[in-house]
A and B are shown apart, each in its own frame.
Chain A
């Protein structure tokens, strides 16, 4: 079970395939202030690697990935 975070924004990328999860994430995180947390919901299995790669490249922090059957949840903190 994920630790509880104060979520400032959610991105619903369920049903979306590459490249949409990272594209939606990039657009959504623009409006956040540094330190705020965003939750991304995705069903695309590719997102499991894509989201961490995105975080690594952009310098944002991937706090946690939660894998449930049929749903991936990512908690990202804006740098």
Chain B
């Protein structure tokens, strides 16, 4: 759009409008470029926050498998162990995790509840899951996954409040677990692109 300078008194006005239009257009381009670059470098894309709240054998796997896979992909991962999830990080806790067949219709081998409540059924279901389900298909046991996570730099945090409620002391936990509260977790989760409640 060329300038029409036949009317001198308007030149100033026309120049101003032209420069405005050009600057706005260029500025918008530059800002869009900067935003696109910033998103590519977004540190939140590299963080994963997981809450592990369950203490049965089957539910101990998801947080540890996801955490170790994410850490293997270069992500910064924190697992917040709370409520029954604390059993996973107690000293000796990992090998005593169990699964009860009673009222658990999702069990791989469904069992009528009236049988599931008999003494010995929970240890048997646990043994079956450990050997026939996991070991047979070469899935690492929980203790090994805990070690892999720690080797890869996954941070373990134990929930102070539920520790107090369940009477667990910091010395009852395996080495390498820090103690924190909800705010500790939320602070990290705020920066994480992926936050999971398990």
Contact of B73 among A16, A20, A57 (CB under 8 A): A57
B148: CB under 8 A from chain A? yes
Bound CA–CA A35/B22 (angstroms): 46
Output the least CB separation between A8 and chain B (Å): 19
B-side contacts of A16, CB under 8 Å:
138, 140
**Interface-lining segment among B12-20, B64-72, B91-99, B164-172:** B64-72
Chain A residues with CB under 8 A of B36: none
- The main secondary structure of chain A at its interface with chain B is helix
CB distance from A67 to the nearest CB of B (A): 20
Contacts of A17 in B (CB 8 A): 137-140
Count A/B pairs, Cβ under 8 Å.
43
**Number of B residues, CB within 8 Å of A:** 15
Bound CA–CA A43/B134 (angstroms): 16
Question: Which B-chain residue is minimally distant from A19 (CB atoms)?
Answer: B69
Given contacts A23-B148, A27-B152, contact A18 B65 (CB under 8 A): yes
* B residues less than 8 Å from A23 (CB atoms): 68-69, 71-72, 148, 152
In this complex, what residue of B is CB-closest to A14? B138
* A19 and B65 form a contact (CB under 8 A): yes
Q: Write the residues of chain A forming the contact surface with B, with a CB cutoff of 8 angstroms.
A: 15-20, 22-23, 25-27, 50, 53-54, 57-58
